């Protein structure tokens, strides 16, 4: 049982390039999330999907787009990468309802030069 | 708006001593509170949660947390620290009504010395 799988684990981009971060969960969870983690900032929510077919903005959505491809998969796209988007990105999933804990992937470490 | 404060960037404790990692929160209505731990180059792992009921919540790896409504706190505790407890700890809160997302604190690094 893999839980939450993120690909790639590491990526270096040049300013202006685009890329998609992939996330898949095998726990049949309804809700999925994308966070970024920066030193001293904790985790900040970028986008979330409460259920298949819905997506909503979080705290820091600018410069990102998401797609909930199906119940298992939730991707994050950077259309034109900027150095300020250098960060560690985490995908998480949870049962619906909000009282259940979120399960996290091991992150994608993204550097933008 | 909901928020979480973890006032200490780092907590140092000797192995075998008790440890406390502090967390205070602000939320409209009643809180759902969570503690997570992060080891290097890994994602966050769930430790424990408070939803309702007993103010003392027990979780994984011998950790516990005490919910104090009047002080709006949810401090993480362990009676006897292990070197392997050294990690980054996050407190998180969400409101119990509607659909609100989790808000995380900035994290506290726990260093347990042998």
pLDDT digits (tens, 9 = 90+) for A14-47: 999 999 999 999 999 999 999 999 988 899 999 9
**Residue A11 CB coordination number (10 Å):** 17
Q: Nearest CA to A101 among B48, B104, B37, B77?
A: B48
The confidence score (pLDDT) of residue B46 equals 95
> 3-state class of A101 per DSSP?
coil
The confidence score (pLDDT) of residue A1 equals 60
Provide the shortest C-alpha distance from residue B89 to chain A (in Å).
Answer: 10
The confidence score (pLDDT) of residue B90 equals 97
Length of chain B: 114
pLDDT tens for residues B3-57? 999 999 999 999 999 999 999 999 988 999 999 999 999 999 999 999 988 999 9
Q: Nearest CA to A13 among A89, A75, A69?
A: A89
CA distance A18 to B35: 34
Whether B46 and A101 lie within 8 Å, measured CB to CB? yes
Q: What is the bridge-based pairing of β-strands B24-26 and B31-38?
A: unpaired
Residue B70 confidence (pLDDT) above 80:
yes
Whether B43 and A43 lie within 8 Å, measured CB to CB? no
Q: Regarding predicted confidence, which is higher, A69 or A23?
A: A23
The confidence score (pLDDT) of residue A99 equals 81
| Bond from prior residue into B83 cis (ω within 30 degrees of 0) | no
The confidence score (pLDDT) of residue B100 equals 74
- Which residues of chain A are within 8 Å of residue B43 when distances are taken between CB atoms? 4, 90, 92, 104-107
The confidence score (pLDDT) of residue B1 equals 82
B56's tokens = 């003392």
Residue located via tokens 């180059």: B41
The confidence score (pLDDT) of residue B58 equals 96
Question: Under 8 Å CB-to-CB from A59, ≥6 apart: which residues?
Answer: A44, A45, A46
CA distance B18 to A30: 38
Residue A59 confidence (pLDDT) above 70:
yes
Question: Under 8 Å CB-to-CB from A41, ≥6 apart: which residues?
Answer: B106
Q: How confident is the model at residue A89 (pLDDT cuts 50, 70, 90)?
A: very high
Provide the shortest C-alpha distance from residue B112 to chain A (in Å).
Answer: 20
Name the residue facing B99 among A40, A50, A102 (closest C-beta): A50
């Amino acid at each position: 049982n893999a839980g939450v799988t993120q690909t790639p684990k590491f990526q270096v981009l040049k300013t202006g390039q685009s890329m998609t971060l992939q996330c898949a969960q095998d726990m049949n969870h309804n809700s999925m999330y994308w966070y970024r983690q920066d030193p001293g900032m904790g985790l900040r929510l970028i986008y979330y999907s409460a259920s298949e077919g819905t997506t909503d903005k979080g705290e820091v959505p600018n410069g990102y787009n998401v797609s909930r491809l199906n119940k298992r998969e939730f991707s994050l796209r950077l259309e034109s990468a900027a150095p300020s988007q250098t960060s560690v990105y985490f995908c998480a999933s949870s049962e619906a309802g909000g009282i259940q804990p979120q399960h996290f992937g091991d992150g994608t470490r993204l550097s933008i030069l | 708006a909901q928020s979480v404060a973890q006032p200490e960037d780092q907590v140092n404790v000797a192995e075998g001593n008790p440890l406390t990692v502090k967390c205070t929160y602000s939320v409209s209505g009643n809180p759902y509170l969570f503690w997570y731990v992060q080891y290097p180059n890994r994602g966050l792992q769930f430790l424990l949660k408070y939803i309702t009921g007993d103010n003392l919540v027990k979780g994984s790896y011998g950790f516990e947390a005490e919910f104090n409504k009047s002080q709006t706190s949810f401090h993480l505790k362990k009676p006897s620290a292990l070197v392997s407890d050294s990690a980054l700890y996050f407190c998180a809160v969400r409101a119990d009504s509607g659909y609100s997302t989790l808000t995380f604190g900035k994290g506290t690094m726990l260093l347990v010395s042998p």
